[in-house]
Amino acid sequence: MNRLTAIGLVSLVAYGLLIASKYTGFVSAAREDRAGHTVSATASPAGDSSVQPANPEPRPKAQFTAAVPPQTYRPSAAAVEFRATRDLRAYADGLASRKVSLTGDERYHLAKALEECQFAMNVSEDLVAYSAKQRRQFIATLPPNDPLNARRISSYDLQDSTQRCARFQGTKISPREIEDLYAAAARQGDARAQARMVVAEGPKNNVGGSNNGNPQPQRAGDDVSRIIELLESQDPEAMLIVGQYLSSSEMAARLRIGPNGEVPEPSAFLGAFSIVACDLGTDCSSFVREHLNACAFGGYCSATSFEELYQNFMASPWSHQQALRYRQIIRNAIDTRNWALLGLIPQPQQQGNTGTPGQ
């Protein structure tokens, strides 16, 4: 699986991990370790930040049009149809029929549709039969005569990719086509596609990585600048994609955030980015699947907002309080453009950066 396609898989499972952490003890471990997460700014010099580069090797960059922030954060027609359709094959075919004239937003959602069905078709059985079997097994787990059962079944059907992708049965979906669609959308200025491209390229900049367990700076200064530009776009979904990357265990361990230079707890940091993304999105459309999963699999169907869902179902009280603190740090960084609050310190522009090799 190539790096760009893997980002989609990360997006699909990130909140599954958040929900799972409620039951598997991750939160408890985080609570026990929380005293060790704060690091003094004076004890951790800026040069130790993972986002400050250590002589990164030059590499070609994808050239993007500046991210186009939407005039409002209401979902587009393509986004609404993508969420609502029960037949992603018809949806994808409709967009592909006018592929040459697609907007960046439409190209992005065509890529998402193909990507979702590529993952769904990884099952080794007949997709239609597999979908029906999974649905029967789900219904068998519901308590008899529960008044929520009809709503839970409806939520299950709405989030079930195998049903949405059933008409792709027997079709080969090319990972390269998905990658090309995201790249084209990024070139058209779609901030979400640009975020996926930047995050997909991130591992290539792993100068030190986890070699011998020694944290070393990871990202070149211009990569940090690109992340900052995406956060400045205030596109909710782009911010969430960047947040998923920054809150990964490896990256979070290298960041120093806030006025005191603390190390963020990954799960709460992801929750904070999610809440901020929801703050910026008028209908919080990026989190429809999380609401559906909570209702279908957890029986929690009453949340009226993502923050309510996060507080009451996805997070422990401690994680929720941490997420609210991190949320304020993230909002302060965005409002004041003080990106050092998130540990994002781009390398100063150097002479000769226009193509003349450095010494």
175: Cβ contacts below 8 Å, ≥ 6 apart: 1, 2, 5, 118
State the Cα–Cα distance between residues 93 and 72, nearest whole angstrom: 28
Backbone angles phi, psi at 257, to 5 degrees: -120, 160
Q: Which residue has the tokens 């149809």?
A: 81
251: Cβ contacts below 8 Å, ≥ 6 apart: 50, 218, 245
Q: What is the pLDDT of residue 221?
A: 60
Q: Find out whether 294 and 303 touch, Cβ atoms under 8 Å.
A: yes
Q: What is the pLDDT of residue 240?
A: 92
How far from each other are the two terminal CA atoms of the chain, in whole angstroms? Answer: 37
Q: What is the pLDDT of residue 279?
A: 87
Q: What is the pLDDT of residue 347?
A: 64
Distances in whole angstroms, Cα of residue 187 to Cα of each of 193, 197, 244, 302: 9, 10, 22, 40
Q: What is the pLDDT of residue 181?
A: 97
State the Cα–Cα distance between residues 228 and 344, nearest whole angstrom: 8
Q: Which of 57, 108, 49, 101 is nearest to 79 (CA)?
A: 108
Residue 215 token pair: 């944290």
Q: Which of 199, 272, 205, 180 is nearest to 238 (CA)?
A: 199
Q: Find out whether 51 and 218 touch, Cβ atoms under 8 Å.
A: yes
Q: What is the pLDDT of residue 211?
A: 38
The per-residue pLDDT string of the chain (359 residues; one tens digit each, 9 = 90 and over) reads: 555 555 554 454 444 444 444 433 333 333 344 444 443 333 433 433 334 333 334 434 455 555 555 444 678 899 999 998 999 999 999 999 999 999 999 999 999 999 999 988 888 788 999 999 999 999 999 999 999 999 999 999 999 999 999 999 988 999 999 999 999 999 999 999 999 999 888 644 443 333 344 444 444 567 888 999 999 998 999 999 999 999 999 999 999 999 999 999 999 999 999 999 988 875 676 678 899 999 999 999 999 889 999 999 999 999 999 999 999 999 999 999 999 999 998 766 554 444 444 43
Q: What is the pLDDT of residue 10?
A: 47
